[in-house]
Structure 1
């Protein structure tokens, strides 16, 4: 299991959770500036998928006392949310709602987070 200098007691103690949470706050703030017509469509999807990574980690971590396989399943769902958010980022850029620099920054962050999720899932095997 991933260590951050002390015992991991909750999902929010995981480094991958901390990174995903920080980026999701950035995504949330940026999407508030999307056009009104996108607030319940693209912006909402982007916010929900970015937050879904942390939500899946939190739920799975809480269930790991019953089964490491169950936690691995939730990590896989977090990976799915990570892939989903990358898709919505591409749409946001292609529709002109975010800059190329922001797209590149977010895609790089989510690629790193995805790799962290893969590594965490592998450690459970």
Structure 2
């Protein structure tokens, strides 16, 4: 939700580009994990969703770089969010390599 709140400050001309893209990619991280977990009985499907989630996380980090470079967010906000996505990625890597531990199937 922090991304959503921060993007409310972005200029109107970014509504259908940067604002939309960063909101979409940030939401996609959690949604892909959730959808993949629901289909965890099919290992390849679960794995694909985790990979998609990782891709969305990296996409979000890229959009955060643009937002910082355009001065829509401060360096401090960027660092805080980038650090969080770094942790999310580490958790995703763990989940991708040992997802059976987290599965009840």
TM-score, structure 1 as length reference: 0.77
Residue 61 in structure 1 maps to residue 61 in structure 2? no
8 Å contact kept, 1:69–1:124:
no
Q: Which runs of 5+ in 1 are unaligned?
A: 1-24
Residue 103 of structure 2: aligned partner = none
Residue 33 of structure 1: aligned partner = 9
Aligned length: 100
Residue 79 of structure 2: aligned partner = 104
- d(CA) in 1 for partners of 2:24 and 2:48? 19
8 Å contact kept, 1:57–1:75:
yes
Residue 120 in structure 1 maps to residue 103 in structure 2? no
Residue 45 in structure 1 maps to residue 21 in structure 2? yes
CA RMSD of aligned residues (A): 1.0
Hey, which bits of structure 1, 4+ residues long, moved more than 6 A?
Answer: none
Residue 84 of structure 1: aligned partner = 59
Q: Which runs of 5+ in 2 are unaligned?
A: 101-105
Residue 73 of structure 1: aligned partner = 48
- d(CA) in 2 for partners of 1:110 and 1:91? 15
TM-score, structure 2 as length reference: 0.91
